Structure 1
Amino acid sequence: MRRYLIHIGIFSAALTVLLIYFMNIHRQWTSNEMMNRAQIARMLALMRYDRETCETQKKSGDGLPEDIAGEEWYAKYAAVALNEGWMSLREDGKFHPGDTFTYGDLKYIMEQFHLSEDLLSFSLKYHQGDGMVPRTQWCEVYQLLSAESSRVQREKLSIHGTPSNISALGAWQTLTSRGLYSAEGLAMDIYMDYSLEVYTAGDEILCVAGKADDMCRIENVWIESGEGDEIQIFFDGYERSIKLEGKLNQKLEPNMADLTFTEGRLNGVDYKTSRLKAALTGIEERAAVLKDYGTVPISENLVVYQIYPSPKVISKDELATDGTVYEFVLKGNEICGIIYQDYAEETIRVLLHGTGQVYEQSSVTVTSSEPFLVMGNDEVKRYEAGTEVTFSQGESIFEGGGEVAIKAENERGKIQVLSLERSSGAPSYHGEIQIQEAAGGLLVINQVNMEDYVAGVIPGEMPVSYGQEALKVQAVCARTFGRRALGTTFRDYPANLDDTVSSQVYNNQEECEESIQAASETRGQVLQNPEGLTATYFFSTSCGHTSDAKDVWYSGSGTDDEKAVSVFLSDDSVTLNLMQEEDFRRFINMEDGADYFEQELPWFRWQVFVSAEDIRNSVLNVCQTDIGELTSVTVLERAESGLLKAIRLDGGLDTCTVYGEYKIRQIFSPVNAELIPQSGEAVTGWEMLPSAYCYMDAVVENNICEGVLIHGGGYGHGCGMSQNGAMKMAEMGKTYDEILKYFFPDSELITE
């Protein structure tokens, strides 16, 4: 019996808890069952006029009672209701906007509109004049009053944002499944993520008539992140956090999705995983024309998101149809979303080198020509222009992995790093300078906008005197290189790349008008081949032909480097087979009769004699092999471009086979020789050959090899774009896109 009573007690307690819970839920929904006079006045006024007209009528009215003479939201509507005779003052001569709407008020309104009680489903004669009118009964009356109004609609929508959960919304603004509405005087938080039936007039929610469905759905939202018990979303141009009752079992990555709510609670996230990446060539009302895919239908609920630098919704009319690449999100066979990754606005992290190409520095000193901010240890300090601030290794600000971030107060301002030295002096940087402590010292990283980065690379990699078309070629190559580096780390440092020739030379020369213009006129443009972003290698001067990457970085067993495509740099039809020694010699000796773009430049052709002793020493240094007295040099393999891929050096003591153009150039180091370009002005002290596009003849006297006479062409590895070739082609009138197509024939120029 006791056990039975205990069970009954437990059951009763549980039932009581459930009843209290459901009563609270009911109270929440019924707390707005009764309406006040201000809300009724608003509904009547907006049935006939818009908000601006109501404002005008109030300003032109005289003798308003003091409780509606101010600037409160309801004053204009109460003034209209009084002026039109739809509502009356109380006995004390005041309007009493906060008073509950009564049957006496209702009868007065019906009389003014000549509305018969016979049309109602309820009777007024059983209700006292001061009795409170339920919202449902008022909505029945309002339906009849507004029947002939072209302004008032009864429609279904769901509520998804108010100033309480979207800080960017203004007072009384409400974000719904149908867009942004004003809901003056209505407490909308209670209806968050519910499906409702409401009365509207234009962009005004007049009244909540009731719940429409148990479930509602927001389609095509952008999920920014999701972790723990919170999801951050972006939709209709606003960010919002959604608190979950439980915790996510995995982190949500940025993506488009549909969200489903039941009784105001999120219970479903449907990711949109079907997508394709393509160039947009045309846009119609209900279709998009995509390169390689043709015409693809667009869904009625299409959303276009630009993701960087921060999410925003853009119109499909803002999309470029010039071949710009977008991601198209599919639902069935229709495009429901378009994602524009504006990489031009993305930032890249550049590791800055110190003295002697060393990255770690003992101290860093910064300043700026305008006020700047220093952020670290959860503090922000402001410094006036010209103030010098020094950070040293071991300071407390770096304890526990702390980082210092420095940026100009003006968004376009620069931070000067006085402790660094470049060709242009102490360099100044756009964006943010970040200082971190590493084992060997302080690391300095510039986090900078991609377009500012490109403008800073151009003058360090190409003389600005080469002209705008050549500079634009360099800009596209630099941007593509930078874009390929995003999402990677440079030698395990917390950066994407560095500012030296190991990546691209950045900010060694100050950006200038020409480099800024070249970056601007090619904004967002990159090269793409069927495998992805093109490896945009570049070098100084060609020999008249470029090489594939697989040949340049050959090591005896092939390479994984993607193809850069080799071409003759001539408008003539050249039929030479440069893999054949005889044809290659004719080519280098310029006996083939063809004209080449760079043939008048000093390093298009060159020659040098390297002694046998120097070659022996170089082999020992590079290959750790002492071949003894040099006896012969044999070409084992040439690339299609004529590039030396493998040679064999025979000596009195040993034989050494050398693979790869870089090592071959080191083996024949002319450091003690005179290197003579075709201009005739000899240079000395070079530690490696200008290129490996060369042939060699042993110089033998008295059966002893004295050395090797080398005839060659070009300066650099020869893969990708020749900078001097681009200059000469631009001088011939070729445009930057034509030049890029010449050097990278398997790639297309796209805008991302």
Structure 2
Amino acid sequence: MENKVRRKHRYKENYVERVRTHNPLKVIALLLIAIAVVWCFIAALRAQLKESDNYISRALAARMLVLSDTDMEPSQDDDHSRWYVKYMEELEKTAAITWDNEDYIQPEYAYAALTYGELREYLLQKNWDIADIVEHTGVDVKKNKASKRIKKAAFEKLYDYMILVNGNAGGVVRRELTIVGTPASMTSAQIRQYGLWSCVAEEGCFNFEGLNMDAYSDKRICVYARDSNIVYVLAVVDESVTYHNVWLCSAQGRKIEAYISGVYREYDVSGLDKSFQNTIADIGMESGRVRQLTIKNDTISGKVLRVSNTAVELDGYGKVEIADDFRVYKNYGMLEEKSINDILVGYDLADFVVADGRICAAVLKKELHAENIRVLIMNTGFGSIFHDRVTLTSENGFTIQKGDELIKIAGGELVDIYPDSEYMSDGRLKVAPLGLNTTITVLSVERSYGNPYYSGTLEIAAEDGSLVIVNELPLEEYLYHVVPSEMPVGFGVEALKVQAVCARSYAYRHIMNNSYRAYGAHVDDSVGYQVYNNIKEQPDSTQAVKETYGQVMRSDEGVVAAYYYSTSCGYMSDLSLWGGEKGGIYKEKTVNPSGESIDLSDEESFKSFICSENAEDYDYEFPFYRWNVELDREYLEGRINEYLKVRYLSEPGNILMKNTEGEYISSENPYIGRLISIETVQRTSSGAVRSIIIHGTDGDAMVRGELNIRYVLGPGENKIMTHTQTETSFDFLPSSYIYIEELYDDGNIAGYRITGGGYGHGIGMSQNAVSTMVKRGMRYDDILEFFYNNIDIVNIY
């Protein structure tokens, strides 16, 4: 071993010596030759790379071809360099292309150019007319040798033609995007958030597997896209872009930092005369450099009265138009870009940045403390939110605020307000009672106890030739009138406390949802939200609200929506009934002490369940625990044909007719003719029917959604026999927990018997079950935890 070491060492010494003893001119000559060889190699490599840039790779072509046919999720492979594998495998699996290399997923093969032979195979397998393609594109797919590589320009022509022929049905479209950030300009946290193969554009977040998007930052580009996938970049449309109304984190010296479409960007600038931070700005870019910075720091604020897509109405300012590139930011806690829906009516939570007389941005500056709620008052019978007139009175009198004018109305005096009356010349009135603990009565509306009276204030606004009424009052006072309208006060205070917490949670969520913002409200007073002020305030329900003051249910995702209904069939559903995710706070289980989960999706299993009874079920003693109704064929035909059209107007995407290709599509004139049969297509594991097909002589209709099914098969005036052997009538079915069977007369279908259970959708709390649970000694918080999983009861004030 020692000799070997010595020999090795001697070799090194000799080598060094040889180099040292060479003639210097020879050494220089050899070095020049070596450099020349290296440069020749580099030049050849560059030429090869440049040449390969002219061709479409198998990997990229596979992605483009697959996405032209179908959606595919971005790769979940930890090795991001293998992004192409699933696309090449998809073509192999569907026999669209049979790759001629068993190791086709290896980079050397995948990144090599696609050949005409491979493309021809794909086109033939997909039934494309090659002669037609040649005629319209000028690319001779047929005559080129199978081994010949396809240039990108030729493939673009072919692909463009394929997209044109496929139309919108293919899913791939041309569109323009302004690229804000790519992984090269993102922080590591943002890369984790969006993904290594994702970029952010002003139009949203896009996946770009296999493409190099870094060169397109701060540019407007034209692409092929399918949903949130950039399939291919066609061209740079504009090197100059302006980011309007972005959040300028800081601008100082030679650097600016901005928050643009959810991405933090830093830019070098030539030098700023002033420093700015946490303000709104326009940033003009040209060829990747900042060319102009426009600061916008004029603000207005006030209580938000109404928010539409074109204007914000503020107390003290009236309607102010919204600019085209309007943005909303939340700057408390973590900076976020939000939407116009996050501007909550009834509260002063935002500063509005104004430029050129229009609102260009809203900055949400503080969290919501939901003490008040704004309720849209519907007309008599809850048919509409619009009123032809509004008649007001109050025992103690009231005031009308009309612009800057304050009008006093004496106690007992009546005021009639019409859309074209002088009162409405400013478009809005604010009405407030005089004195403490007083109310205003609306004589032009009737409720179950007569003309309703309201605490808080009323706002009356002109809307589309009619009037809308918004009642603003403290959330707790609102609940005084909701709880007795939603649950019988005879259930007792403990049961009413359950209802109070649910109602408060539900109301809070809908304040946040802001769905009535265009009318300046959070909810209306009908069953569409929570019935409000249909019954007078009651001592027990008011006590229940006070004893649960401020309490709501909260899960990991925030305050719970707290769905509830009248009566269960002995089993409850989760949100999968409405197409949502299974699990979460809503769990499918029996509504009895066992709380066990069983699968009722099978027809026979559900039939066995619904035709039996369990005295342990909390709803067992209530009429709609079980019910049935018989409907003759002639009646049902008329009902179905009428209500297919009625429900189409409400939910066109869920009322479908079968076309000549056998597909069910939305149809403006759904009609089945004579009824042949009714088929249950989808039943959830809780037993509720989600989808039916109604076969008729003139067509087959698919009805989706539990409420649509309940209306289309509604009994109308036909009597429903309940569990307590009492008869009643309902225009629609009490629930979709139903089993449908045919009734025959002399071998012919004469009608249908519908056996069902429960009243309502069956998600969340059963109100009648609560009554039984309280009688069995359960507390309100234990009851809430039975119906809603993994919740905490917390205080919002």
Distance 1:575 1:528, change over 3 A: closer
SS of 2:624's equivalent in the other structure is helix
> Pick from 406, 413, 432: which aligns with 1:380?
406
**1:340 to partner: Cα distance:** 8.7
- 8 Å CA contact retained: 2:394, 2:412: yes
Larger mean CA deviation between 558-567 and 462-471 belongs to 558-567
Kindly indicate whether residue 510 of structure 2 is the aligned counterpart of residue 485 of structure 1.
Answer: yes
Cα-to-partner distance string for 1:271-316 (whole Å, 9 max, x where unaligned): 874699xxxxxxxxxxxxxxxxxxxxxxxxxxxxxxx9999xxxxx
Distance 1:672 1:518 in 2: 37
Distance 1:577 1:530, change over 3 A: same
Distance 1:275 1:729, change over 3 A: farther
**1:369 to partner: Cα distance:** 2.3
Residue type at the aligned position of 1:606: W
Distance 1:537 1:653, change over 3 A: same
**1:421 to partner: Cα distance:** 1.2
**1:504 to partner: Cα distance:** 1.3
**1:506 to partner: Cα distance:** 0.7
Name the counterpart of 1:83. Answer: none
**1:672 to partner: Cα distance:** 4.4
Name the counterpart of 2:76. Answer: none
Distance 1:634 1:365, change over 3 A: closer
Distance 1:604 1:380, change over 3 A: same
- 8 Å CA contact retained: 1:635, 1:646: yes
Name the counterpart of 1:473. Answer: 498
**1:697 to partner: Cα distance:** 1.5
Distance 2:782 2:466 in 1: 46
- 8 Å CA contact retained: 2:555, 2:585: no
- 8 Å CA contact retained: 2:598, 2:685: no
Residue type at the aligned position of 1:604: Y
Q: Identity percentage over the alignment? A: 33
Name the counterpart of 1:648. Answer: 693
Distance 1:475 1:532 in 2: 18
Residue type at the aligned position of 2:764: G
- 8 Å CA contact retained: 2:589, 2:597: no
Residue type at the aligned position of 1:461: E
- 8 Å CA contact retained: 1:458, 1:471: yes
Cα-to-partner distance string for 1:600-641 (whole Å, 9 max, x where unaligned): 111100111112222222332233544344343332221121
Distance 2:574 2:681 in 1: 18
Name the counterpart of 1:508. Answer: 534
Matches within 5 A, 1:96-107: none
> Pick from 444, 456, 462: which aligns with 2:469?
444
**1:251 to partner: Cα distance:** 4.2
> Pick from 666, 676, 693: which aligns with 2:711?
666
Cα-to-partner distance string for 1:297-346 (whole Å, 9 max, x where unaligned): xxxxxxxxxxx9999xxxxxxxxxxxxxxxxxxxxxxxxxxx99653xx2
Distance 1:391 1:619, change over 3 A: closer
Cα-to-partner distance string for 1:556-597 (whole Å, 9 max, x where unaligned): xx6899864333111036464212223222221226x56200
Distance 1:341 1:358 in 2: 30
Name the counterpart of 1:191. Answer: none
- 8 Å CA contact retained: 1:619, 1:625: no
> Pick from 630, 636, 644: which aligns with 1:609?
630
**1:490 to partner: Cα distance:** 1.7
Kindly indicate whether residue 416 of structure 2 is the aligned counterpart of residue 395 of structure 1.
Answer: no
- 8 Å CA contact retained: 1:350, 1:499: yes
**1:406 to partner: Cα distance:** 1.7
Matches within 5 A, 1:668-747: 668-684=713-729, 686-747=730-791
Matches within 5 A, 1:55-454: 249=297, 251=299, 273=333, 342-343=369-370, 346-356=371-381, 357-401=383-427, 403-454=428-479
SS of 2:734's equivalent in the other structure is coil
> Pick from 626, 635, 650: which aligns with 2:680?
635
Distance 1:249 1:668, change over 3 A: same
Name the counterpart of 1:568. Answer: 590
- 8 Å CA contact retained: 1:546, 1:720: yes
Cα-to-partner distance string for 1:244-275 (whole Å, 9 max, x where unaligned): xxx97264999xxxxxxxxxxxxxxxx87469
Residue type at the aligned position of 2:681: L
**1:495 to partner: Cα distance:** 1.3
Structure 2 length as normaliser, TM-score? 0.50
What stretches of structure 2 of length at least 5 have no aligned partner? 1-277, 281-294, 303-330, 337-345, 350-365, 645-668
SS of 1:486's equivalent in the other structure is helix
**1:470 to partner: Cα distance:** 1.6
> Pick from 521, 538, 553: which aligns with 2:564?
538
Kindly indicate whether residue 573 of structure 2 is the aligned counterpart of residue 547 of structure 1.
Answer: yes
**1:447 to partner: Cα distance:** 0.8
Distance 1:587 1:381 in 2: 64
Distance 1:573 1:362 in 2: 50
Distance 1:650 1:468 in 2: 50
Equivalent pairs counted in the alignment come to 430
Residue type at the aligned position of 2:594: D
Cα-to-partner distance string for 1:649-681 (whole Å, 9 max, x where unaligned): 334443332221112222322124221001112
SS of 1:469's equivalent in the other structure is helix
Distance 1:563 1:647, change over 3 A: farther
Distance 2:553 2:612 in 1: 33
Cα-to-partner distance string for 1:406-447 (whole Å, 9 max, x where unaligned): 212324221122222111111111110111122222221111
Choose 1 or 2 for highest CA Rg: 1
**1:751 to partner: Cα distance:** 0.9
Distance 1:731 1:370 in 2: 43
Kindly indicate whether residue 614 of structure 2 is the aligned counterpart of residue 580 of structure 1.
Answer: no
Distance 1:381 1:626 in 2: 56
Structure 1 length as normaliser, TM-score? 0.53
Residue type at the aligned position of 1:595: E
- 8 Å CA contact retained: 1:631, 1:704: no
Structure ranking higher in helix proportion: 2
- 8 Å CA contact retained: 1:525, 1:749: yes
Cα-to-partner distance string for 1:24-57 (whole Å, 9 max, x where unaligned): xxxxxxxxxxxxxxxxxxxxxxxxxxxxxxxxxx
Distance 2:694 2:528 in 1: 30
Distance 1:459 1:248, change over 3 A: same
Distance 2:535 2:588 in 1: 31
- 8 Å CA contact retained: 1:646, 1:657: yes
- Superposition CA RMSD, Å: 3.4
Distance 2:639 2:789 in 1: 38
Name the counterpart of 1:51. Answer: none
Distance 1:505 1:273, change over 3 A: closer
Name the counterpart of 1:597. Answer: 618
